[in-house]
């Protein structure tokens, strides 16, 4: 089977047709199935079966092209690995989008980016911002177009692409927030951009445009409720200053 998501064409083949139903539930949100034989990346899942009368250990194997990624007796672990790889494949291969690990919130006509690899560090703050009136664009990847504007991870006509207003990193200082220079912000975002090694020039150009209209901050250690209140106050101050200039 093959699918298209954000313009990336990804294929999956199996040795057991009965697995296709399971795999259909693993493909990224809003993906469209495709009958094309041309794909950007191909994954192969070979399931070992569950014959209880056999003494042979039947491993479940996951390959990306000819490279083995997973070898396990646990089918669910193999499927979880495939789900993760399919998400990353889309993030690497989307031709007109840059995927940055982390969350994104829409607030009025601007977006708040929360870069980071650890979902537990992001989800609490995302939830607090949504309770305060924000619109969740993604809890997994911030999706940027070539202008540096943020799109929802699950495409929907009811949510417009937004320029970035604030970029909030989790900082090492547990007490004091800190304003970052545009250059430091770009470097921080590059570290979370999935395609930074595959398409470095595109990633750098996109992030420079995203940062140009934004304020970048390092957040102190605090509860999600405290952080969201401080961040929204800072966001309002930053927007007022931008519009006055």
pLDDT band at 51 (very low <50, low <70, confident <90, very high): low
For residue 98, pLDDT beyond 60: yes
pLDDT digits over 18-44, tens only?
999 999 999 998 899 999 889 999 999
pLDDT band at 224 (very low <50, low <70, confident <90, very high): confident
Enumerate residues 6+ apart whose C-beta is below 8 A from 55: none
User: Residue 191, class by beta-carbon neighbours within 10 Å (0-12 exposed, 13-18 middle, 19+ buried)?
Assistant: middle
pTM of the model: 0.88
């Amino acid at each position: 089977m093959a699918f298209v998501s954000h313009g990336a064409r990804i294929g999956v083949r199996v040795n057991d047709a009965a697995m296709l139903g399971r795999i259909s539930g693993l493909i990224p949100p809003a993906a469209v199935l495709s009958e094309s034989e041309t794909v950007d990346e191909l994954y192969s899942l070979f399931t070992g079966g569950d014959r209880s009368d056999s003494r042979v250990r039947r491993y479940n194997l996951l390959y990306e092209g000819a490279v083995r990624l997973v070898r396990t007796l646990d089918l669910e672990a193999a499927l979880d690995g495939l789900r993760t790889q399919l998400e990353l494949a889309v993030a690497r291969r989307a031709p007109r989008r840059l995927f940055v690990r982390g969350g994104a919130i829409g607030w009025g006509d601007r977006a708040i980016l929360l870069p980071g690899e650890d979902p537990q560090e992001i989800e609490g703050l995302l939830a607090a911002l949504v309770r305060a009136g924000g619109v969740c664009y993604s809890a997994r990847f911030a999706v940027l177009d070539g202008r540096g504007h943020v799109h929802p991870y699950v495409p929907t006509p009811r949510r417009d692409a937004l320029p970035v207003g604030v970029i909030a990193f989790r900082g090492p200082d547990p007490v004091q927030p800190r304003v970052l220079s545009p250059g430091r912000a770009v470097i921080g975002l590059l570290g979370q951009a999935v395609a930074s090694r595959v398409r470095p020039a595109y990633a750098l150009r996109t992030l420079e445009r995203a940062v140009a209209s934004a304020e970048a901050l390092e957040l102190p250690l605090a509860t999600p409720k405290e952080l969201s209140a401080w961040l929204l106050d800072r966001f309002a101050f930053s927007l007022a200053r931008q519009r006055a200039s």
